[in-house]
Amino acid sequence: ARVYKNPPPFPLVYSIMPGAYVTNIITNGGASVGRSEVMPNFGGQLSETQIQSVILHLYSIRQIQTPRY
């Protein structure tokens, strides 16, 4: 069965949000930016370098051209 979330999770590979926003949502979770509470925070589990690596990976597979910082 499909579960609907409110607000729905957003696939970050389609995001045009600036790097600071993406860093915040990964570090502090979805609720920190008014998005889905289903997105957990990873700030306590990943170092800043690891979070930046995740963001660089997202940007490398994203469906738009260039990241906005």
The two tokens of residue 30 are 């979805």
Decide if 23 contacts 15 (C-beta within 8 A).
Answer: no
The three-class DSSP label of residue 63 is coil
**Where does the pLDDT of residue 53 fall: very low under 50, low under 70, confident under 90, or very high at 90 and above?**
very high
The two tokens of residue 66 are 């260039």
DSSP annotation of 65 reads S
Decide if 57 contacts 15 (C-beta within 8 A).
Answer: no
Each residue's pLDDT tens digit, 3-52? 666 766 677 777 778 889 889 999 999 899 888 888 899 999 999 999 99
